[in-house]
Amino acid sequence: MLYPTPAQVEAAYGLARERYATLGVDTEAALATLAATSISLHCWQGDDVGGFENPGGGLEGGIAATGNYPGKARNADELRSDLDMAFRLIPSRHRLNLHAIYAETGGRPMERNQLGPEHFAAWVDWARAAGRGIDFNPTCFAHPLAAAGFTLASPDPAIRQFWVEHCIVCRQIGAAFGVALGTPCVTNIWIPDGYKDTPFDRLGPRQRLAESLDQILRAPVDRSHTYDAVEGKLFGLGLESYTVGSHEFYLGYAARRNDLLLCLDAGHFHPTESIADKISAVLLAVPRLLLHVSRGVRWDSDHVVTFSDDLQAIMQELVRGDFLGRTHIGLDYFDASINRVAAWVIGTRNAQRALLLALLEPAAELRALEQAGDHTGRLALLEETKGLPWAAVWDAFCMRNDVPVGGAFLADIRCYETQVLATRG
Ligand code: RNT
Ligand code: ZN
C-alpha cells in the first residue's frame, strides 16, 4: 500500500487534531479557511505562454519557457481539458488566470486593441459550469508592436496608444468576466519595457508609463467587477540594465492612487530578497495585494513552486497579518521540461500546504512569547511547529475534497499522459 487508506487518514487526523488542540489551535477552523481560499491558476503553464493568436508564435519580452516536454496544449479545448485534469487533483475550488493571447477569435486574426468579451465566451461558459472565477492580463509582449522593447512607455505615440487601447479593452473584458461569473476579476498589467544596456534617460520612460496608466485607468469600467493590478519587476532577459516598471515605480504609483492592487511576483526581486517581508509594508500603503507565487532560481526563472521556506514565509505573513481577505493569490511559473499538468498540481498543492501550515501556527502563544520579550521561547516554538503533524491535516483535507491523498495524484497524471497528452504528436 503506497498511500494511506481512508481509515488511516481519519485516525491520523484525529490524533493531529488533539495534538494541535493542546497548543490552542483549531484544525477545523484552519481547514475552513483553507477551503475558502482560492488560488488563481495561470493558464499559461499549459502551453508555455504560447497563446492562440498565431501558431508557433515565440515568447518575447524578457521571459522564457525552457524545455520541450511532449504534449503541450495546442488549442483552447486542449488547454481546458488539461486544466480540468489539474483541477480534479487539487482540493477545493480555484480560479483561472487568463491572458489576452488566449482569445478565441474563430480563426480570424484580431488585433489586440479590438478584443472583446465575445472572444472569451467559451472560457466563461467553461468557468461558469465549474463555478470558477477568472482573472485576466493584457498581453503586452510577443507582438510586432512590442518588438522595439517598449509598449506603454514607448516613445512612439502610435505604439503607446495601441497598448493603452489594448489595456482598456482588457479591463472591459475583465469587468465582463466579473459580471458573468459573479466574482470580481483581477486584471493585472505587466509590461516588458526596458533596456539591455545602461540608459541615459531613466526618467522619460517612467513619465510616459505613468501617463499611459493614467489614461488606461480613466476609461470608464465598473470597478466593482474588475480590480486593476500593476506588476513590477527587477529585470528581464535582454533588459538587464533598466526596467521601466520597477517595484518602486509601481509601489509609488499605486500608493498615490489608492485604488490599485500591487502585484508582487516572487521571482521579480534580487535573489536574496523575499516578498514575504514586503507584504505588511505594502498593505499599509495599498488597499489590496496580488501575489504571483513563483520560484526564481538564480533569476526570474519561473520554476514550479516548491514547499520552500520562502513559500512558507509568504503564507505565514498572509495569515499572521490577517491579510487573506485583501490578498489575491495567483501562481506564475512556466516549466516546459516536465509534465505541464503535474506542474500545476504540484505548485498549487504546495501553495495550499504552505497556507495550511501557516493557519496551524500556535499564533496566540507565539505572539505572547514575543510580546513578553521571550525570544528564546519564540525560537523554540517556531521550530517545534515545523514538526507538528500538519501533513495528517492536509491528507484529511484532500480526502474530504475527494482528491488523491499524498502523491497518489501522480498515477492519475500518468494515465492522462498516456491517454491524452501522448496523442498530441
Ligand atoms: C513576467 C511577469 C508576468 C508574466 C505573465 C505571463 O515577468 O511575471 O506576470 O509571467 O504575465
Ligand atoms: Zn508575474
pLDDT band with cut points at 50, 70 and 90 for residue 12: very high
Euclidean distance between CA atoms 245 and 231, whole angstroms: 8
Ligand 2 centroid – CA 110 distance (Å):
25
pLDDT of residue 55: 72
Q: Is the CB of 152 under 6 A from ligand 1?
A: no
Measured CA to CA, the distance from residue 49 to residue 46 in angstroms comes to: 8
Which of 231, 246, 291 best tests ligand 1's pocket when mutated (most atoms within 8 Å of CB)?
A: 231
User: For position 61, what pLDDT does the model report?
Assistant: 87
How remote is the CA of residue 387 from the centroid of ligand 2, in Å? 32
Q: Which residue minimizes the CA distance to atom 1 of ligand 1?
A: 63
Contact criterion met (CB below 8 Å) for 188 and 231: yes
Contacts of 142 (CB under 8 A, 6+ apart): 49, 51, 53, 57, 58, 59, 60, 61, 101
pLDDT for res 406: 92
pLDDT in tens, 340-365: 999 999 999 999 999 999 999 999 99
Q: Which of 186, 172, 44, 151 is nearest to 101 (CA)?
A: 44
Q: Is the pLDDT of residue 1 over 60?
A: no
The mean pLDDT of the chain is 97
With the most atoms of ligand 1 within 8 angstroms of its CB, the residue from 48, 141, 230, 292 to mutate is 292
Decide whether any atom of ligand 1 lies within 6 Å of the 266 Cβ: no
Residue 64 neighbours by CB distance under 10 Å? 18
How confident is the model at residue 2, as a pLDDT? 74
Reported as a single tens digit per residue, the pLDDT across 107-136 is 899 999 999 999 999 999 999 999 999 999
Does ligand 1 come within 6 angstroms of the Cβ of 264? no
239 secondary structure, DSSP code? B
Q: How far is the CA of 95 from the centre of ligand 2 (A)?
A: 16
pLDDT digits (tens, 9 = 90+) for 47-104: 999 999 977 667 888 999 999 999 999 999 999 999 999 999 999 999 999 999 999 9
Cα–Cα distance, 406 to 91 (Å, whole number) = 12
Q: What pLDDT is recorded for position 370? A: 98
Asked whether 387 and 69 are in contact (CB, 8 A), the reply is no
Q: How many A from CA of 279 to the centre of ligand 2?
A: 16
pLDDT (tens digit per residue) in 163-208: 999 999 999 999 999 999 999 999 999 999 999 999 999 999 999 9
Confidence check: pLDDT of 378 > 80 = yes
What per-residue confidence (pLDDT) applies to 54? 79
**Closest protein CA for atom 3 of ligand 1:** 190
For the segment 291-296, the average pLDDT, to the nearest whole number, is 98
3-state secondary structure of 188: strand
Ligand 1: does its nearest atom lie under 6 Å from the Cβ of 231? Answer: yes
Residue ID of nearest Cα to ligand 1 atom 7: 63
Q: What is the pLDDT of residue 65?
A: 94
Tell me the per-residue pLDDT of 232-267, one tens digit each, with 9 for 90 and over.
999 999 999 999 999 999 999 999 999 999 999 999
Does position 293 have pLDDT exceeding 60, yes or no?
yes
Lowest mean pLDDT among 52-56, 205-209, 216-220, 394-398: 52-56
Q: Give domain 48-85+92-338's CATH superfamily.
A: Divalent-metal-dependent TIM barrel enzymes (3.20.20.150)
Residues near ion ligand 2 (Cβ under 5 Å): 265, 292, 332
Q: Is the shortest distance between the CB of 260 and ligand 1 below 6 Å?
A: no
- Between vectors from CA 366 to CA 361 and to CA 371, what angle results, nearest 5°? 155
- Cβ of 63 below 6 Å from ligand 1: yes
Residue 42 Cβ inside 6 Å of ligand 1? The answer reads no
Q: Which atom in ligand 1 lies closest to the alpha carbon of residue 137? A: 11
